[in-house]
Amino acid sequence: MATFFWQGNEACAYGAMAAGARFFAGYPISPSSEIAELCSRLLPEREGIYVQMEDEIASLAAVIGASVGGMRAFTATSGPGFSLMQENLGFAVMAEVPCVIIHAQRFGPATGIATAPAQADVMQARWGTHGDYQMLVLSPSSVQECYDLTVAAFNLAERFRSPVILLTDAALAHLRETVTVSDTPPPRHCRPQPEGDSALYRPYAPGPDLIPAMAAFGDCYIQRVTGLVHDEQGYSSSAPAVAAGLVRRLQEKILLYQDELPSPVYTGPEEPEILLVSYGISVRAAQAAAQRAQAWGHRVGCLRLRALWPFPEAVIGDWARRVRAVLVVEMNYGQLRREVELAVAGRCRVSGVNRYDAEVVTSGEILAALTKS
């Protein structure tokens, strides 16, 4: 066991190294640049590759290319760069290419405030690229979790053959905290490998859990990767049955196994009256507020979401039966609150504590909202 005093960005970079990432392609952007800077140092020391591309479109493209070449690959960016990545994010979904995108959210839209935090890209992470798909999105709320969930993101990417987005924010990216790292390397999930006669390999034939075995370029198994609707051979097709089958499998390969994602963590009294639901850096204020409210004798608990997408609808729905009100704490105008409302489905009251002035939510603001609930 070793302890480090890392920034959120540093913890992401070291987490990626621990997860076996050996390829980083990126483009400098605040507030994620420290990840690129650190990777440019750490990767060559590990026989890995750091490449600085001409923009974020190219960055994710190079990451996808390296992943199909068999490497664990990732990139890091922020709002404007994440917008540019949407194109190839959809490609990675369609072509089922494992990769990790670390997105340190900053204040937007547009250039916004480059160094100020926000949590306003939650919906963009879910729906930013066109088409019908599921997206895997994790959200750490401490520097320790930046490390742990980066490791988890790589494993989930390999497990589901899917891009995984790690949503941090400018405040967490630059926060320094103590991180504990185990001496033994974290368990590693690897993409399923083809077996048997190479002539019979079909690049997109689903395995038992709907995930196709993935050959790398250069293997004796011929790999065909495309963003077009494709049949099991990887050849393009516009047949309605092929299209429907593909979309259904892309959805179900994730939805049927959603319970493998990091589940929400509850802290607080056994029978809370009010539940604070939060994610990312806002969790910290929510937990502090819950603790103070408990000290004053109020039954307030805090549910910390670690995976935002697919949304833990069932967990929220269960809580809605047990509490009087849910308060969603987030640094935007109310993006995830709507999702919580859908899950709650009228079983209790839902309101939001929202901050959108480029500052982190404080426990005082939450306590003020609690007194109204």
Spacing of C-alpha 212 from chain mean position: 22
Q: What is the DSSP secondary structure assignment for residue 260, as one 8-state letter?
A: G
Give me the 274-313 binding string for other proteins, x by CB under 8 A, dash otherwise.
----------xx-xx--x----------------------
Q: Is 205 in the site for other proteins (CB under 8 A)?
A: no
Reference 67, options 33, 13, 22, 102; nearest CA is 22
Binding status of residue 123 toward other proteins by CB under 8 A: no
- For other proteins (CB under 8 A), the number of binding residues is 64
Helix (H) or strand (E) holding 291: helix 282-295
Q: Binder to other proteins among 37, 87, 232, 365 (CB under 8 A)? A: 87
**Residue numbers 30-59 binding other proteins by CB under 8 A:** 30-31, 44, 49, 51, 53-55, 57-59
CB-count exposure of residue 300 (10 Å: 0-12, 13-18, 19+): buried
- In a 13 Å sphere around the CA of 56, the CA atoms on its Cβ side amount to 21
Q: Three-class SS of residue 94? A: helix
Contact assessment for residue 255 and residue 136, using Cβ atoms and an 8 Å cutoff: no
Quick one: 306 or 341, whose CB is closer to other proteins?
306
Per CB under 8 A, which region of 25-33, 146-154, 187-195, 270-278 contacts other proteins? 25-33
Question: In this complex, which beta carbon is closest to other proteins, that of residue 57 or of residue 247?
Answer: 57
> Quick check: 202 binds other proteins (CB under 8 A)?
no
Q: By CB under 8 A, what part of segment 211-240 binds other proteins?
A: 216-228, 234-236
What one-letter code names the amino acid at 315? Answer: V
Of the residues 16, 42, 64, 327, which one makes contact with other proteins according to CB under 8 A: 64
- Our finding on whether 70 is near other proteins (CB under 8 A) is yes
What kind and span of H or E run contains 230? none
Instruction: Give the other-Cβ count within 10 Å of 90's Cβ.
Output: 18
Quote the CA–CA distance of 299 and 301 in Å, as a whole number: 7
For other proteins, the binding residues (CB under 8 A) are 3, 5, 23, 25, 30-31, 44, 49, 51, 53-55, 57-59, 61-71, 73, 87-88, 91, 114-115, 170-171, 174-178, 216-228, 234-236, 284-285, 287-288, 291, 360, 362-364
